[in-house]
């Protein structure tokens, strides 16, 4: 049972790493637009 849980943990950590990478890429690509919206509302 412990070995099975360990496999699930490794799989989940891999999925989390992929999701984290996608979040970073989306955040970087969306950063200019976010700054534009901020300037639009702040200005």
Q: Is 37 helix (H, G, I), strand (E, B) or coil?
A: helix
Higher pLDDT, 40 or 4: 40
**Token pair 């200019």 is at which residue?**
32
Q: Is 9 helix (H, G, I), strand (E, B) or coil?
A: helix
Distances (CA, A) of 23 to 11, 29, 34: 18, 10, 14
Inform me whether the pLDDT recorded for 2 exceeds 80: no
- Per domain, the residue ranges of the chain are 1-43
How far is it, in rounded angstroms, from Cα 43 to Cα 39?
5
Please state whether the predicted TM-score (pTM) of the whole model is above 0.75. Answer: no
């Amino acid at each position: 049972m412990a070995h099975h849980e360990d496999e699930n943990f490794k799989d989940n950590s891999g999925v989390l790493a992929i999701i984290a990478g996608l979040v970073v890429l989306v955040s970087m690509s969306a950063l200019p637009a976010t700054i534009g919206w901020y300037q639009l509302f702040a200005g």
